[in-house]
Amino acid sequence: MNKNVIIEDLGLKDYKETWDYQEKLFQSILDIKIKNRRAEAGLETPNYFLLVEHPHVYTLGKSGDLSNLLVNEEQLKDKGATFYKINRGGDITYHGPGQIVGYPILDLDNFFTDIHKYLRFLEEVIILTLADYGIKAERSEGETGVWIDVGTPFARKICAMGVRASRWVTMHGFALNVNADLGYFDNIIPCGIRGKAVTSLNVELGKPEVSMDEVQQKILKHFKELFEVEFVKQKTTV
């Protein structure tokens, strides 16, 4: 089992371009697994973890409801945002500057073949990261992602999650609001959940800005410990 994970920091990158790159890596792992099954080749499958910020974009999961997007094509253009219907689970969400988006493209055969455990681990990475800042974050029963003040009238989501898996290979992932412009969430019903707010780390800390690099390093530290991996840095090719 290969426990090495190739880390790529893509910086600020167009959503569609990044999605295409994810698909390329995802398919390359599937191809190896198919070859191993057919020819018993015993080839090692790689694992990747992409970190990125996107320009303003709304994405709708395969089971999502388009009516949760509250603006039309012209209004999207006015807001400098794009929209994509994509192949992950979950409903609609927003990505934009000031948000750390993580796309682990892992062969879970290298770790554990349990998609629910995988999602709980991803949530735990974010919960531990927020705990480093003195914020008590948690899961909300029946709702994916990471929340603050669950079970109160002030419940608010700080991190959205949605993944796709095939033959135990994962793609898509999480989006943690660090210095996000929360006004962009007003244009959607986030994750299809009415009546609950969205927040950002800088808002919770009462700061104008939080170091994105610092948060990213904390995410990587907890990911490494939870998944028991070794990181390999690779020059970005996308």
pLDDT, one tens digit per residue, over 115-152 is: 999 999 999 999 999 999 999 999 999 888 999 999 99
**Domain 4-233 = CATH 3.40.120.10:** no
Q: Is 173 annotated as a binding residue?
A: yes
Q: Which of 97, 86, 7 is nearest to 51 (CA)?
A: 7
Q: Look at residue 155 and tell me whether its pLDDT is greater than 90.
A: yes
50: left (phi over 0), alpha (psi -120 to 50) or beta: beta
Q: Which phi and psi (to 5°) does residue 134 adopt?
A: 80, 20
User: What predicted TM-score, i.e. pTM, was given to this entire model?
Assistant: 0.93
| Both tokens assigned to 119 | 């999602």
Strand, helix or coil at 55? coil
Q: Is 21 annotated as a binding residue?
A: no
Q: What's residue 87's pLDDT?
A: 87
Strand, helix or coil at 95? strand
Q: Is 90 annotated as a binding residue?
A: yes
Q: By percentage, how much of the chain surpasses pLDDT 90?
A: 81
Q: Cα(176)–Cα(39) distance, rounded to whole angstroms?
A: 41
Q: What's residue 193's pLDDT?
A: 63
| Both tokens assigned to 78 | 């006015």
Q: Cα(5)–Cα(220) distance, rounded to whole angstroms?
A: 11
Q: Is 1 annotated as a binding residue?
A: no
Q: What's residue 235's pLDDT?
A: 56
pLDDT confidence bin for 64, thresholds 50/70/90: confident
Taking residues 51-73, report their average pLDDT. 92
Q: Cα(64)–Cα(66) distance, rounded to whole angstroms?
A: 6
Query: What is the Rg, in whole angstroms, of the alpha carbon atoms belonging to the chain?
Result: 18
Q: Is 237 annotated as a binding residue?
A: no
Active site residues: 191
What are the DSSP E strand ranges found in the chain? 4-12, 48-53, 57-60, 82-85, 92-95, 99-105, 137-140, 143-148, 156-166, 169-177, 197-198, 230-233
